[in-house]
Structure 1
Amino acid sequence: MALFKHTSTFELDPFTDLIFNALLIFTFLFLMALLLLNPPAKSGIIDPKAEFLVTVSWPDNDPNDIDIWAAGPGSRQVWYMRPQDGLMHIDRDDRGLANDTQEVDGKTIVNPLNQEVLTIRGRPPGEYIVNLHYYKTENKQPVPVNVYVAEVNPKLKVLHYGTTTLGQQGDEVTAVRFTIDPDGRVGNINQINKSIVKAEQP
């Protein structure tokens, strides 16, 4: 009985083996360079380009108009008529449901979120006061308002979170006050009431 033995005739000479290994190394280095040049996007990271964020929100679909008023060092003040002063900026005057609808293809799209955001894009030393003003009512109901204050640089730190209820149209309440010292540190966080709105009204 004859036995057959299979043998491979494909063998690499030392020079071809060297070229093949060099090609593998080059390909690996090329792929690593691509990864370093184009790092994967980091999801869930927000870079607001600010030092502090103050978020004021009230219940979704609530029709009433709540405004944020803020005062800072050097007689700086922001509200819906002056959304930016110095390094303080209010992103939008949210008027309840009044400016939360849009017509798209004959259909009315409603954004139920009620929110105003104040950004402070630096650390000028002095006191900052954030007030809430019940500008206009549509249903004559009290409105619970959430106030969230966060220091976002060099890392996120919650400085204040609380809920204040505005009872009726015209009410003004100090939501939070804090001080930034000359070294940029935050302290003296309190809710001692001080009117800003009345000082601006004739």
Structure 2
Amino acid sequence: MAMFRQRRSTEQDPFTDLLFNSLLAFTFLFLVAIMFLNPPAKQGIIDPKAEVIITMQWPDNTDDDIDLWVEDPKGRIVWFKNTEAGLMHLDRDDRGMANDMILVDGEKIANPLNQEVVTIRGTSPGEYVVNTHYFYAASDLPVDVEVKVVRVNPKLEVIYYGTLRLPHVGNERTAVRFTVTRDGSIINVNRRYKSLAPVEAL
């Protein structure tokens, strides 16, 4: 009898086993819930919606101020005094070195890049006009301006890439004009001049 009691005490109780497994499952589910409640932060991820990206760049480390003007098929124009027009947005108005200081860890650092960017978040059928305007000159020298128009969707496609020279302050030149058809195709890429800047801006 004593021998039977000793052997029975060494056997595992089914109730204890069930309780232990239930506790283990509860702990696992609790940890999974915590993970879903606090997902890891995705820092530095930018997901801009854009169909077309237009960039204009001129020599770095200069005080010259060149402006980008873009007109959509409905005649709406985006420029430094009107940074949003329809589906177009001027992402940055670069005034040469005047606004090229950025704050990093409490210290001002110069950003030498002179660049303006316009994003078009949805295209309408019709003609788009992209102009450059020489707003302010730090010297009397002409400025070479590089303009690139890239279509992002449905695949990456360079619509236009070229350089034009702005000889003096107040000079406005058409970098490119292109037409979007109803089926989304881009045709009639040309550089025929069309003024977009009002007289007071010239």
Counting aligned pairs with the same residue, the percent is: 51
Mapping for residues 118-137 of structure 1, pairs under 5 Å: 118-137=118-137
Q: Residue by residue, what CA displacement relative to the aligned partner does 1:105-157 show, whole Å, maximum 9, x if unpaired? A: xx87533232222122332221111112222221233434333434455x673
Using a 3 Å threshold, how does the CA distance of structure 1 residues 19 and 179 change in structure 2: closer, same or farther? farther
Q: Residue by residue, what CA displacement relative to the aligned partner does 1:41-100 show, whole Å, maximum 9, x if unpaired? A: 446642224443322222321221111011111121222233333222223432212333
Local SS of the residue matching 1:61: coil
Aligned to 1:19: 19
Aligned to 1:64: 64
Using a 3 Å threshold, how does the CA distance of structure 1 residues 61 and 51 change in structure 2: closer, same or farther? same
Using a 3 Å threshold, how does the CA distance of structure 1 residues 23 and 111 change in structure 2: closer, same or farther? same
CA distance in structure 2 between the partners assigned to 1:16 and 1:151 by the alignment: 66
CA distance in structure 2 between the partners assigned to 1:156 and 1:197 by the alignment: 29
Query: 2:131–2:175: 8 Å Cα contact kept in structure 1?
Result: yes
Aligned to 1:54: 54
Q: Which runs of 5+ in 1 are unaligned?
A: 1-8
Using a 3 Å threshold, how does the CA distance of structure 1 residues 20 and 176 change in structure 2: closer, same or farther? farther
Aligned to 1:30: 30
Local SS of the residue matching 1:141: coil
Using a 3 Å threshold, how does the CA distance of structure 1 residues 31 and 53 change in structure 2: closer, same or farther? farther
> What amino acid sits opposite 2:74 in the alignment?
G
> What amino acid sits opposite 2:65 in the alignment?
D
> What amino acid sits opposite 1:201 in the alignment?
V
Using a 3 Å threshold, how does the CA distance of structure 1 residues 73 and 112 change in structure 2: closer, same or farther? same
Query: 2:68–2:133: 8 Å Cα contact kept in structure 1?
Result: yes
TM-score, scaled relative to structure 2:
0.72
Aligned to 1:187: 186
Using a 3 Å threshold, how does the CA distance of structure 1 residues 18 and 119 change in structure 2: closer, same or farther? same
Using a 3 Å threshold, how does the CA distance of structure 1 residues 91 and 44 change in structure 2: closer, same or farther? closer
Query: 1:174–1:191: 8 Å Cα contact kept in structure 2?
Result: no
Structure (1/2) with the larger helix percentage: 2
Query: 1:142–1:165: 8 Å Cα contact kept in structure 2?
Result: no
Local SS of the residue matching 1:63: coil
Q: How many residues align?
A: 189
Local SS of the residue matching 1:75: coil
Query: 2:142–2:166: 8 Å Cα contact kept in structure 1?
Result: yes
Q: Give the root-mean-square deviation of aligned CA atoms.
A: 3.4
Aligned to 2:141: 141
Alpha-carbon distance, 1:171 to partner: 3.8
Using a 3 Å threshold, how does the CA distance of structure 1 residues 146 and 186 change in structure 2: closer, same or farther? farther
CA distance in structure 1 between the partners assigned to 2:150 and 2:31 by the alignment: 40
Q: 2:199 aligns with which of 190, 198, 201?
A: 201
> What amino acid sits opposite 2:81 in the alignment?
M
Local SS of the residue matching 2:74: helix
